[in-house]
Amino acid sequence: MRQVDLREAVNAVSDVVQNRPRPLREFDQIHMKTGDMVLQSEIVADWANGKRLAFIGDGDAVSVCVAYLKARGVLDFGPTKITVYDFDERTVQAVKRFADRERLENLDAVLYNCLDAFPDSTKYDCFYTNPPWGASNKGESVNVFVQRGIEAIRYDGDGMIVIADDDELPWPKEVLGNVQAYASSRGFYVSKMQRKLHGYHLDDAPDLKSCNLYVSALPGNVTKAVPSEAVIDRERLQHFYGQSKGPRVRYVRECKKPDYGMAPQEEYKFDLLEKPE
């Protein structure tokens, strides 16, 4: 693996950051910091090299970074196919617009809410998810996203789960334990963990980090596959996006087609110079 040109990598990721929509905190959308996105994109591209990769949600736009870095020649490895499944139409359309503009033929996005049965018959080799971290429901919201990732790979393959990682706070440990237990119940084991790897633009917890938790299917696990179904268990949906914030929105719709590289006119106004007499 050749050495990556850091300047080229940062500039490419900056192009992607300019394109992605701003986060909606009410749905636990919190963007990863740009430097960490560069590192994460290289990690994901190497991990999923030559494979078909499903993103179960992707507000950060790591999917776009992975495809774009390879297309620009910054990386000489990466997935053969990347599909983003997200309930935010702004994210879906931003991925599609960027892929169309940059001729990223292996990148696509689908409007999808993880509370519904997984919609695609494609068999992916691996999945990636950076879901709501489940601080108020012991990680059950994480497990819903992990469930959809496992269904995307048909119980046979690998997953990368990005969740909170902190030695001082109790809830990240509880979430990590419950997510690992859930993965085990589905026939997956923890194959690797990269701790305290990412920082976020998080006002109320600026020092909170996240880890990469890798899970892999046990041999013969495909025989345990069950059909995908909608999530209707109310207990799994409590506090999905935080304390007393259960799901109430099927899709976030894009009201207009913004140019994410420019400030919207609602953000500013002009005080004009006086005309000379």
Domain annotation covers residue 1: no
Asked, for residue 273, whether it belongs to a domain, the answer is no
- CATH, residue 134: 3.40.50.150
Q: Is the dihedral of CA 196, 199, 203, 206 positive or negative?
A: positive
Q: Please give the DSSP secondary-structure letter assigned to residue 224.
A: G
Crossing angle for the helix pair 170-185 and 140-152, nearest 10 degrees?
30
Tokens of 202: 């998080």
Q: Considering the entire predicted model, what is its pTM? A: 0.91
Surface-to-core class of residue 97, CB atoms within 10 Å of its CB (0-12 exposed, 13-18 middle, 19+ buried): middle
pLDDT for residue 258: 59
What integer pLDDT is reported at residue 236 of this predicted model?
Answer: 76
Is 274 within the bounds of a domain?
A: no
Indicate the burial class of 84 (C-beta count within 10 angstroms; 0-12, 13-18, 19 or more).
buried
Domain of 203, in residue numbers: 6-267
User: Which pLDDT belongs to residue 25?
Assistant: 83
Residue 23 covered by a domain:
yes
Return per-residue pLDDT of the chain as tens, 277 residues: 567 899 999 999 999 999 999 988 888 788 999 999 999 999 999 999 999 999 999 999 999 999 999 999 999 999 999 999 999 999 999 999 999 999 999 999 999 999 999 998 889 999 999 999 988 888 999 999 999 999 999 999 999 999 999 999 999 999 999 999 999 999 999 999 999 999 998 887 889 999 999 999 999 998 888 999 997 677 777 778 777 677 888 899 998 765 656 666 666 777 777 877 6
Q: Is residue 19 part of a domain?
A: yes
| Bridge partner list, 214 | 160, 192
Q: How much is the pLDDT for 27? A: 85
Q: Residue 275 falls within a domain, yes or no? A: no
Alpha helices in the chain (DSSP H): 6-19, 34-47, 62-71, 89-101, 140-152, 170-185, 234-237
With H, G, I as helix, E, B as strand and everything else as coil, classify residue 81.
strand
Distance of CA 182 to the CA centre of its chain: 19
170 is written with which tokens?
Answer: 């109790």
pLDDT for 231 = 79
Q: What is the pLDDT of residue 199?
A: 94
Kindly state the DSSP code that residue 66 receives in the 8-state scheme. Answer: H
Q: Does some domain include residue 272?
A: no
Residue 162 lies in a domain: yes
Over the Cα atoms of the chain, what is R_g?
A: 19
Please report which helix (H) or strand (E) contains residue 189, including its range: strand 188-198
Helix pair 6-19, 34-47: axis angle to 10 deg: 100
**Residue 217: φ, ψ to 5°:** -70, 140
Evaluated on CA atoms 47, 49, 54, 57, the torsion sign reads positive
Predicted confidence at residue 134, as pLDDT, reads 87
Number of domains in the chain: 1
